[in-house]
Amino acid sequence: MQSRWNDNDAQRYVDAALAAGHSEALGLRIYTSRIIGGDPDLVLHGGGNTSVKVRGKDGSDLMHIKGSGWDLDTIEAPGLPAVRLQPLLAIRDGKRLSDPEMVALLRSSLIDPNAPNPSVEALLHAFLPFAFVDHTHATAILALADQPDMRETVKRIYGGRVAFVPYVMPGFDLSIEGDKINRANPGCEGLWLENHGLFTFAETARRSYDLMIEFVTVAEEELSRKGVVLSGPQGNAARLDPVLETHLVEALSRAGSPFAKGLSLDYRSTPAIQRYVSRDDVEEVTLRGTVTPDHVIRIKPWPLIVDADADVERIESALAAYAQRYREYFQRNADRADEPKTILDAYPRVIIVRGQGMLALGINEKTAKIGGDLCEQATRAINAAEDYGRFTPISESDLFDMEYWSLEQAKLKKP
Q: Report the CATH number that the domain containing residue 393 is assigned in CATH.
A: 3.40.225.10
Q: Do 263 and 341 fall within a single domain?
A: yes
Q: Do 203 and 131 fall within a single domain?
A: yes
Last residue of a domain, one of 190, 225, 260: 225
Name the phi and psi angles at 266, rounded to 5: -125, 105
Helices vs. strands in the chain: H and E counts, helices first: 17, 11
- Assess whether pLDDT exceeds 70 at residue 414: no
Amino acid at 82: A
Backbone torsion region of residue 312, taken as left when φ is above 0, otherwise alpha when ψ lies between -120 and 50, otherwise beta? alpha
Evaluate whether residue 388 is within a structural domain.
Answer: yes
Q: Do 250 and 169 fall within a single domain?
A: no
Convert 193-219 to b/e letters by CB count within 10 Å (16 or more is b).
Answer: bbbbbbbbbbeebbbbbbbbbbbbebb
Evaluate whether residue 233 is within a structural domain.
Answer: no
pLDDT band at 409 (very low <50, low <70, confident <90, very high): low
Among the listed residues 165, 67, 84, the one whose alpha carbon sits nearest the alpha carbon of residue 120: 67
| Tally of domains in the chain | 2
Last residue of a domain, one of 198, 225, 252: 225
Question: Which whole number is the average pLDDT over 294-310?
Answer: 95
Range of the domain at 269: 242-413
Name the DSSP letter for residue 154: H
Q: Do 118 and 171 fall within a single domain?
A: yes
Q: Is 0.85 topped by the overall pTM?
A: yes
Amino acid at 168: V
Encode pLDDT of 202-253 as tens digits: 999 999 999 999 999 999 999 999 999 887 766 776 799 999 999 999 999 9
Q: Do 286 and 327 fall within a single domain?
A: yes
Q: Do 194 and 315 fall within a single domain?
A: no
Q: Do 70 and 160 fall within a single domain?
A: yes
Evaluate whether residue 1 is within a structural domain.
Answer: no
The residues, any chain, with a CB within 8 Å of residue 303's CB and separated by 6 or more, are 286, 348, 349, 350, 351, 352, 358
Evaluate whether residue 182 is within a structural domain.
Answer: yes
Quote the pLDDT of residue 410.
58
Averaged confidence pLDDT in the chain: 94
Encode pLDDT of 66-75 as tens digits: 998 899 999 9
